Chains A and B, each alone.
Chain A
Amino acid sequence: MNRLIILLLAFVLCSPVMAGLPYDTNSDNTISSDELGSAILKNLETNDPVSSDLSDAAWIYWHWNGTPLTVTDTANQTIILEKPVHRLVAFDGSTLETLRSLNATDLIVGVSKNTHDEREFFPEFQQTPSIGTVWSPDMEALIETRPDTVFIYGSISRDSVQAIEEQLKTLDPSIRVLHFDLFRPEIYPDEVIKVAKILGKEGEAQAFMDFYEPVMSTIGERIASIPLNERKTVYFESWNAYKSAAPGSGYHEKVEFAGGKNIFADATNPYPVVDPEAILRLKPEIVIKQVGAGESNVGGYNDPNAKQLVPVYESLLNRTGWNTLPAIQNGNVHVIHSDILGSASHFIGLEYLAKWFYPDKFSDIDPIRTHIEYLTRFQHLQYDPETRGGFVYP
């Protein structure tokens, strides 16, 4: 407790006074070229080292046209930023992954506890301080990282997020909390653009979008040409046995985006635990099993090869009565890891789904190539998913 109080005092004393834009001498809420120019000349005259305020003013002038940046985040909260981000805490892996795509990882001062478990995918963050998780945050560790900005979920785990925000407001109101999911396909491009604007990484965002959007639009356009009544029926199973997905869940949206017709689209809750008999009755043409957590905590980047996914696949084939399913009879059962379906890499998983659902329409698409290019160009990882990791089977 004493440690926390000392930290807080130190933090409050060291915190810059947040009073509008730096070097906005006429207080018109804009750093004009004259204001910036005279500040730079004055600095040159005095021969002082460049102050952080001056470099912030130059940064704002360059990236935000000299005005504060107004952002409406995914939680529909509007926040006005008057200083650039220097020290950023990311509460989840998807945010961290996106920041890497934007070449912005030098700002990261704190990461989620789970990031330390992903030693193959986040090797450079293994020594970065952990701030716990959204559900079990370590507030002392968070404050100790002295962040000026925190990125946290926008639409999920609202209670936990709110509790963290309230604590942060009490501990240090100058810390800016921004809400972004950065894993949902329907808002991902919009979120990436906003994050890039906040961090001054518009160029990197454009390069990434030039890669991401053609992947998604190819899937969308080709699927749109398939009449609804000709779409394949799909049983999607999450990490735990018989736990499916329905409207309101990201996985339902992904199945439908890839052209599947979810057999449990009428379920009353987003993650229903379904009756095994219902699967036999509804006779799905495709079965998709997701692994990566819960009962099926196998595969992913840490897996030395795809062998861990094989027993999962075989256990599906051996389920009671499943030999009567068209999916089994036609060899349309697939296992996929949540690393490439439930995260910022969802576009890779969506390519796999679309190709599994309609192999003829996507014969020219090679998801493994997309995966390799993404890892090499945007994640800056020397990792070959063809020979390492367990992502899909078969």
Chain B
Amino acid sequence: MILKPGVALSIPDTSSKGRSLTRIYLRDKIQKIILMGGLIFLLLLLLCISITVGSAGLTPGEVGMTFISSLLGSQTNSYSTAIVFGLRLHRVLFGACAGFGLAICGAVMQGILRNPLASPFTLGISSAAAFGASIAIVCGVGIGIWNEGFIVTNAFVFTLLATMGIYLMAKRRGMTAETMVLAGILIMYLFSAMTSFLQFFASAEHNQEIVFWTFGSLSRTTWEKTVAIFTILVFSVPYLLWKSWDINALAEGDEIAKGLGVAADRTRALCMGVISIITAGIICFTGTIGFIGLVAPHIARMLIGADMRYLIPISGLIGAALLTGADILSRSILQDQIIPVGIMTAFIGIPFFGYLFMRVRREYW
């Protein structure tokens, strides 16, 4: 039987110490649930703001009327319908899903690798995606959707290849957190160098395109892409939540995890696989948005500690809120132009992270 953290505390105890611990546990649990509720409310608020922001000049009232008209099935204005449903809504939802997905990937990665710097960005997965996209940009033929399809497919495939590379190297040297981190760093440098090599030979236009891709952007979202990433999350998040006990054990070290009956190597490999699919699914459409996966889990850990049962969803909600907030800014700063959201995530996340880092006293890592 696997001893799961927290289970012992829920066993009814007649002693006063036991009752006190139960109260503390329940209070802690309620606080986390309230925080989760607050974050959901914040995210919904940001989504509502985001849907009303844009260059089209629609007032919040007009956006609301467009929604109501569509829901009631009455005659709608084709202009506002095109703006709200054709351009904004899928972008806003995709942004929230992408932020959620990248943040939970970072949280799980930091947990299974016991490393606060682990994220899809720092361990080479994003570099591999950038290389895949660069190959498609430089060597790609075709136009419009076909060219984009080539970029997306390449980015996705190379992301999975990078994970496989990390897995194979780590498997040969022992599937520990250290070997996986080192293998990840190796992969990151390898793919970064290969991308630079391609850029050296690429034309100015292709280089510009590669640079723009690596900024990370939500400009090319569609309903199909939003459904695709939502589907990936629907299947992967429950699995990661189900594994959260095991990840908690892994975070304490392999010996403790094995002592608790957790198959450390297998769990780590499976979680890496799931993370890479989520990351690949997101960044193949957006380009590299690196900051969310690193910082959202840290912010969550500062607020609620390291229990993965809460850390995964709360990191996800913070990531979704951060990316949605960044997207609002990216569409509001310059008139009629959109700054790539990958740039804005750092601007919006760093002050918040810095504030918590300086103010929160608890030892969170």
A interface list, Cβ under 8 A from B: 114, 133, 135-136, 157, 239-242, 264, 266-268, 272-278, 280-282, 291, 293-298, 308, 311-312, 315, 320-321, 323-324
Contact = CB atoms under 8 A, between A and B. Distances in A.
Interface in B109-148: 141, 143-145, 147-148
29 contacts: A114-B203, A133-B203, A135-B207, A136-B200, A136-B201, A240-B212, A242-B219, A266-B335, A266-B336, A272-B337, A274-B337, A276-B87, A277-B83, A277-B87, A278-B336, A280-B56, A280-B79, A281-B56, A281-B57, A291-B143, A293-B203, A294-B205, A294-B208, A295-B148, A296-B143, A298-B143, A315-B144, A315-B145, A321-B78
Interface string B53-65: 0111100000000
Contacts of A312: 143-144
A199 B208 CA distance: 36
Contact of B337 (A239, A267, A320): A267
B209 A320 contact: no
A280 B338 CA distance: 15
Nearest to B91: A276
Contacts of B148: 295
B86 interface: yes
A251 to B, nearest CB: 14
B144 A277 contact: no
B87 A135 contact: no
B78 A278 contact: no
B71 interface: no
Nearest to B219: A242
A320 B338 CA distance: 17
Contact of B144 (A272, A293, A311): A311
B143 A311 contact: yes
B144 A278 contact: no
B234 interface: no
Contacts of A276: 87, 219
Interface residues of B, number: 35
B219 A293 contact: no
A273 B145 contact: no
Query: Does more than half of chain B's interface fall in helix, strand or loop, or is it mixed?
Result: helix
Contacts of A298: 143
A330 to B, nearest CB: 16
A274 B87 contact: no
B149 to A, nearest CB: 12
A267 B82 contact: no
A273 B219 contact: yes
Q: Which 3 A-B pairs have the closest CB atoms?
A: A321-B82, A320-B86, A278-B55
B206 interface: yes
B331 interface: yes
B360 interface: no
B72 interface: no
A11 B170 CA distance: 55
Contacts of A157: 204
A297 B57 CA distance: 34
A323 to B, nearest CB: 7
A308 B146 CA distance: 13
B334 interface: yes
Given A135-B204, A272-B336, A311-B144, A321 B209 contact: no
Contacts of B141: 297
A294 B335 CA distance: 25
B341 to A, nearest CB: 12
Contacts of B145: 315
B82 A275 contact: no
Contacts of B207: 135
B86 A275 contact: no
Nearest to A320: B86
Contacts of A136: 200-201
A274 B337 CA distance: 4
A239 B144 CA distance: 10
B79 A321 contact: yes
B124 to A, nearest CB: 27
B144 A321 contact: no
Contacts of B220: 241
A241 B338 CA distance: 13
Interface in B313-361: 331, 334-338
A277 B337 contact: no
Interface string B66-110: 000000000000110011001110000000000000000000000
B118 to A, nearest CB: 32
Contact of A239 (B78, B205, B331, B336): B205
Nearest to A160: B204
A264 B335 CA distance: 10
A281 B201 CA distance: 40
A241 B82 CA distance: 18
B228 to A, nearest CB: 18
